[in-house]
Amino acid sequence: MPRAMWKGAVSFGLVNVPVKLYSATEDHDISFRQVHREDGGRIHYKRVCAIDGEEVSYDDIAKGYETEDGEMVVITDDDLKNLPNQSSKEIAVEKFVPSEQVDPMLLDRSYYLEPEKGAAKAYALLRDALEAADRMALVSVAIRSRKNMAVLRVRDNIVVLQTMIWPDEVRSADFANLGDVGSATERELSMATMLIDSLSGDYDPDEFQDDYSEAVHDMVEAKLSGGEVTHAPEPQDTGEVVDLLEALQRSVDRAKASRGEPVEKKSAPAKKTAAKTTPAKKTTATKKTAAKKTTTTKTAAKKKAS
């Protein structure tokens, strides 16, 4: 089981149910990388300022709010701290509403609620009460520092929390052609009803599969089996920071420098010229030895001749 992404408590009336929150869904969508067509090298993007064209480090990046007329307002960390506190660890039940009153279009992400140790009885009370009333609990909760409206419902004997989008986030269906649709004739409606009856049945999720994902995986496996793999060479050293730790260290050094703090200087890496110099010395020594031997031979030859 994955780690809980949030811990808090469901509160309704005087009942308090400590729970853990887990994501109930995962994305299986196929994700492709952007690569160079010729050699398969990964494509990287730089954070470049649109005004001066300079690359910007992470410590110099702030949040900005763009107005409708194109003006940019820079938001600081202090500005965010002054906003209403959205870090509550409470799932507060506002009311219990009939399920049919909640438009599915408003539902967003789904999460499982697991009771903390010692909270099983209170958890069962909440679950059974929701099922008996055949209602959803409309709640407010803060996830990732933002307040959300959500509903609690029961699925497979587990309490599920589903976050909701705000009503003003739903677009109106203002289409020009809707006014010219008209109505179906009785004969057309009768034929359509017969077609619906012939295709009616119960929903079985096992009947449907993600054919696209399976086809992509099969295609990749076929390319691997056929040896169609591109081994991208190591990127050339262009002097740019490509190592994450190095990028973080440079950001820290830059922040220290801006505050007037001393920055620890790294020793330069050793040059690879020593290995080339050593053989050269040996060659010189060998030449000197050979020269000495030649001189000795000439001297011996002169003595013998005299």
Domain boundaries, the chain: 1-26+84-167
User: What's the pLDDT at 251?
Assistant: 64
Using a 10 angstrom Cβ sphere, with 0-12 exposed, 13-18 middle and 19 or more buried, the burial of residue 136 is buried
Cross-strand partners of 153 = 160
The mean pLDDT value of the chain amounts to 78
pLDDT at 144: 75
Q: How far apart are CA 73 and CA 52, in angstroms?
A: 18
Identify the pLDDT of residue 281. 44
Angle (CA) 65-71-75 rounded to 5° is 30
More confident position, 297 or 125: 125
pLDDT at residue 67, rounded to an integer: 92
* CATH code assigned to 1-26+84-167: 2.40.290.10
Distances (CA, A) of 95 to 3, 108, 128, 129, 149: 30, 19, 16, 13, 12
- Residue 92, classed as helix, strand or coil, is strand
Per cent of the chain over pLDDT 70 is: 73
- pLDDT bracket for residue 81 (50, 70, 90): confident
Q: Tell me: the pLDDT tens digits for 182-226?
A: 788 899 899 999 999 998 988 887 887 777 788 888 888 887 888
- pLDDT band, very low/low/confident/very high, at 305 (cuts 50, 70, 90): very low
